[in-house]
Amino acid sequence: MTSSQPQARFLMCRPAHFAVTYAINPWMDPENWARNDHALGAAAWQEWAALHQTLCELGAAIELVPPVQGLPDLVFTANAAVVLDRTALLARFRHPERQPEEPHFDAAFRALQAHGILDAVRTLPDGLVLEGAGDCVWDDARNLFWMGYGRRSDVHARDAVEATFGVEVIPLELVDPRFYHLDTALSAMPRGELVYFPGAFTAAARAAILKRVDPADRIELTAEDACRLSANAVVLDDTIVLPGCGRRLRAELEQRGYCVRETPLGAFLHSGGAAFCLTLRLDARSHVESRLVRSSHRRLPQAQARS
């Protein structure tokens, strides 16, 4: 951290037990991982540490979930919950391989609440599946969530997200199994640009994007950049931290005033994850909440003077 007021706050989990031991998406090949287990495990530690250091250098504070043996994907904290306005809506996983993560994430969020980092922890209605921020990408410029569904999350989870946070949720159906979570194919920039891979979505989902995003703000990824998981990025103000990108995408982002920082995450690509997957933003605020916070801060000196 560079100051007492962090630039952002993220939840992460050290990759002490990360490995590819099962296959629940096309990226995952347990046999290939097993052949290179030692080298890939060491690479995962180095890559995770580099991402952690980069975020700290950018002024972020990092909260940590304890790693758990036998839960290799616990490292992908983006899937733990949807978080906005100091409220967390806990995830529920579709695949049995990931369902044992749920009580550990529950305990982590209860601890964050006990330490004053969150105000509330909510659960989904029975029967609904929603895999956290992996399928619920916050668009601060539009004050809404883009919500992926069809591969891992249920479209009906939209109602639960809207009821919990009081913001609009735009459902987008995913069709390409490589892009199983929305965060693998779409990233919302703070100035209003939307980076996305059209091939990941149905025609109706693409139409929903075109309806809400001006042509000048659409940045369409090539298949090559999409498969680098260039959309799976962490954005802090004008800095974009991503696992890699082609020269055309880098040039376009830089022309728009962004600083691109590539942080290789090849070991995690074996599991279909990258920078966004490995982090969960804990301090995002909606526009209404932000105005309330700013207003309370303006009133604070007067309140102190009266006390």
* DSSP reduced 3-state for 223: helix
For residue 149, give the nearest of 185, 96, 97 by alpha carbon: 185
Q: How far is it, in rounded angstroms, from Cα 286 to Cα 138?
A: 9
Handedness of CA 193, 194, 197, 199 (dihedral sign): negative
HSE-up of 101 (CA within 13 Å, CB side)? Answer: 28
How many DSSP H helices and E strands does the chain contain? 9, 15
In the sheet that holds 120-122, the strands lie side by side as 81-84, 87-90, 120-122
The two tokens of residue 286 are: 């909606």
Token pair of 257 as six digits: 């005033």
Q: Which residue among 13, 136, 245, 277 is the active-site one?
A: 277
Calpha distance 293→307 (Å, rounded): 20
Burial class of residue 3, CB neighbours in 10 A (0-12, 13-18, 19+): exposed
How far apart CA 225 and CA 10 sit, in angstroms, is: 25
Does 277 qualify as catalytic in the annotation?
yes
Closest CA to 218 of 237, 244, 192: 192
Catalytic pick from 13, 52, 181, 245? 181
For residues 105 and 11, the answer to whether their CB atoms sit within 8 Å is: no
> Which residues are designated catalytic?
181, 277
